[in-house]
Structure 1
Amino acid sequence: MADKHVDRDVLNTLREVMEEAYPELLDTFLVDSDNRLRELQQTADAEVLSSVAHSFKGSSSNMGATRLAELCQELEQHARNKSPSEILKLVADIHSEFGEVRPVYEAERLRSHAH
């Protein structure tokens, strides 16, 4: 189900490279993502939106959350020229996409702690 949302190859590579630091990486991504989502929902400032979206895009991309990274990129690029309602819709899309991928990372974390 999550394959259009999460690039499993990226996760497999991260798991191999990071080894015992992998669960920590997952934790950090989940916490940072929550914080960034909150920031996106609380601001109407185009500069802040663009900056937060840029950071979020980078971490999403690094973690293989491809669709999430695309949505963040769209927000980063268009924060200055979209209407408030378009921004709200995009932030809502980012929020729901994170809702799709969160269980994948939480399951990964449980699995990696189990070893």
Structure 2
Amino acid sequence: MKNIVRVVLVLGLMGAAGSAFAEDAAKLYGTKCAMCHGKKGEGNPVMAKAKKMDIGLFAVNDEATLKKTDEELIKATIDGVGTAMPAYKGKIADAEVAPLITYMRSLAAPAAEAPAVEAPVTTRQ
């Protein structure tokens, strides 16, 4: 029940404090997350090798992670994930978590742009 209240509180703060913390989210990601998840969310191969885990488990810009809800990602950040990811409860402010998740989502590789298609040239005489 306590975790549900915390998630609701954090989500509620997203709108109110979003812009204030958005500027700091990249810096926070760089100091707390990039060591394992990589600067661009691709996962850190050195950390994956050290923990003897698949690099995909460290990526946060992948399709599987991006399909998760904000609530799931907030809970993972606050409570940790198994033994691989530590809990950040008490290490970062609850109000910083939502902007951090928003920043993490922004690291997703943009979809490849479709090549421009030119109109067919027709000549009628």
| Higher helix fraction (1 or 2) | 1
Bucket of the pairwise TM-score, normalised by the shorter protein: 0.3 to 0.5
State the structure with bigger RCO (CA 8 A, min sep 6), 1 or 2: 1
TM-score (norm 2): 0.34
